[in-house]
């Protein structure tokens, strides 16, 4: 059985579906602070299987202990955390309390089991702060975080790295992913947080549906092509796949590094304004938006390299597809809304559903009821950008030793659909 903490959240629910599709038995733990119990039904409808569920606040160590006494876990995927950069600036103590306490309790109880329990940690590209170079590789040194949220991810990684030095029973892969968007092709699960969305795309869809007011774009005076921040948007289903690949790797390779970090991104950056304009272009819906002040904690530009990094199991031939053969953790190329997968962005309300889909992928049956496609224009490559922000040495010397193996994706750039419009 695999424990998925925060499994009714956006990324957790999609990862749970992928686990169930791969015939894992899944137990989801969630405190329902930012999601609904109805997501369980959505997971079941999406894959035909229903995970086990326990409503637990991981800050309660007694409840965590009872959980491990009741179930036996062969692996843990830890998503449970507060995750808004902007909100963390306003509520730093809540973020430190929740994100650190939940991890420490989980690890302490797992350590008490005295057996091997692989651990996949949901980290973030925010650990890099304002990067010195673009694209961002795992060799990029961590810096002083620009938000309490980013700092909690840095501290959590430090806790995990320190634990693995003295306890080989809990091998860890920390996935530093960029900006997930999209939803399962069934449209049964998606990004639908409680209250006001903190992420761009669900706010766009809810604004378009009339649920929310105008969108606020935080700053249009950044040193980018249109003045707005640039992010690497990865499809959430691909991100779910990455977690399962990492878990399978730890389950089948006892000689893996005790602690490893991997970026998961698409290899391109898309600006906030480009996302807004793309939505307008393909849905024929005019979005209301205003330009606000820069938001504290936001970095200017982040995106991962366009390449694959192989987990250290050997080197397959260049013809090995990214989803077959030796396990690969790709820098998955679902750029923007993703051209490799349908990108459905749910907006469940009394209004007709609004969704976003990748350009160039076939319409599914779930998209016949008012759901329209969205194509995100691929941006050209940018030269490396150098920052004067002071850095600190990497805490992961193994990443400096050239161990990561890089190769090109199996699908050529010619397969990328042309820019929309």
Average of per-residue pLDDT values in the chain: 75
The H or E element that residue 281 is part of is: helix 272-283
Residue 205's pLDDT band (cuts 50, 70, 90)? confident
Going by C-alpha positions, the residue among 355, 358, 393, 404 that lies closest to residue 377 is 358
More confident residue, 165 or 383: 165
Which residue has tokens 């299987």?
49
Q: Which of 56-60, 154-158, 417-421 is predicted with the least confidence, judged by mean pLDDT?
A: 417-421
Given a cut of 50, whether residue 421 has pLDDT beyond it is no
At the top level of CATH, the class of 2-181+235-264 is: alpha beta
- % the chain with pLDDT above 70: 72
Q: What is the pLDDT of residues 276-294, one digit of tens each?
A: 988 888 788 888 888 989 9
Q: Which of 5-14, 169-178, 320-329 is predicted with the least confidence, judged by mean pLDDT?
A: 320-329
Which whole number is the average pLDDT over 393-419? 33
Rounded to 5 degrees, what angle do the CA atoms 157, 159, 163 make? Answer: 115
Given a cut of 60, whether residue 415 has pLDDT beyond it is no
Residues marked active site are found at 149
Beta strand extents in 225-342 (DSSP E only): 230-231, 233-235, 259-264, 270-271, 289-292, 308-310, 328-330
Given a cut of 50, whether residue 154 has pLDDT beyond it is yes
| Distance in angstroms (rounded) separating the CA atoms of residues 41 and 49 | 10
- pLDDT value at residue 310: 54
Which whole number is the average pLDDT over 150-162? 95
Given a cut of 50, whether residue 373 has pLDDT beyond it is no
pTM here is: 0.72
Q: Where are the domains of the chain?
A: 2-181+235-264
- pLDDT value at residue 140: 85
Which residue has tokens 């030793």?
401
CB 231 within 8 Å of CB 2: no
Cis link prior to 135 (omega < 30° from 0)?
yes
Given a cut of 90, whether residue 70 has pLDDT beyond it is yes
Which whole number is the average pLDDT over 93-98? 96
Rounded to 5 degrees, what angle do the CA atoms 400, 401, 407 make? Answer: 90
Given a cut of 70, whether residue 372 has pLDDT beyond it is no
Across 63-67, 312-316, 343-347, the highest mean pLDDT is recorded for 63-67
């Amino acid at each position: 059985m695999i424990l998925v903490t925060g499994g009714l959240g956006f990324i957790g629910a999609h990862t749970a579906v992928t686990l169930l599709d791969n015939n894992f038995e899944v137990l989801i733990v969630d405190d329902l602070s930012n999601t609904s119990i109805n997501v369980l039904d959505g997971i079941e409808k999406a894959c035909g299987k229903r995970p086990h569920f326990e409503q637990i606040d991981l800050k309660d160590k007694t409840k965590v202990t009872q959980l491990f006494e009741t179930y036996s876990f062969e692996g843990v995927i830890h998503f449970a955390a507060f995750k808004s950069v902007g909100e963390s600036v306003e509520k730093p103590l809540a973020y430190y309390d929740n994100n650190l306490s939940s991890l420490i309790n989980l690890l302490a109880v797992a350590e008490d089991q005295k057996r091997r329990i692989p651990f996949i940690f949901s980290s973030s590209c925010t650990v890099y702060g304002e990067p010195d170079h673009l694209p961002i590789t795992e060799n990029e040194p961590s810096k002083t975080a620009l938000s309490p949220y980013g700092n909690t991810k840095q501290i959590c990684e430090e806790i995990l790295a320190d634990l693995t030095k003295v306890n080989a029973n809990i091998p860890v892969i920390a996935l530093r992913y960029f900006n997930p968007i999209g939803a399962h092709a069934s449209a049964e699960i998606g990004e639908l947080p409680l209250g006001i969305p903190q992420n761009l795309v669900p706010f766009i869809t809810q604004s378009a549906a009339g649920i929310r007011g105008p969108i606020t774009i935080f700053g249009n005076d950044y040193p980018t092509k249109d003045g707005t921040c640039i992010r690497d948007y990865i499809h959430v289903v691909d991100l779910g796949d990455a977690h399962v690949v990492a878990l399978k790797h730890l389950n089948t390779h006892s000689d893996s590094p005790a602690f490893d970090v991997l970026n998961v991104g698409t290899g391109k950056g898309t600006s906030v304004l480009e996302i807004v304009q793309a939505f307008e272009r393909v849905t024929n819906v005019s979005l209301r938006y205003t330009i606000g002040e820069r938001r504290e904690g936001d970095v200017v530009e982040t995106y991962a390299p366009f390449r694959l990094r192989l987990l250290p199991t050997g080197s397959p031939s260049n013809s090995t597809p990214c989803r077959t053969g030796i396990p690969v953790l790709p820098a998955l190329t679902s750029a923007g809304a993703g051209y490799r997968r349908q990108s459905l962005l749910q907006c469940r309300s009394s209004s007709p559903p609004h969704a976003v889909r990748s350009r160039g992928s076939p319409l599914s049956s779930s998209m016949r009821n008012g759901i329209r496609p969205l194509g995100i224009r691929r941006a050209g490559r940018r030269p490396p950008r150098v920052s004067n922000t002071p850095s600190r040495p990497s805490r992961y010397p193994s990443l400096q030793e050239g161990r990561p193996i890089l190769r090109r994706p199996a699908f050529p750039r010619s397969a990328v659909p042309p820019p929309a419009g």
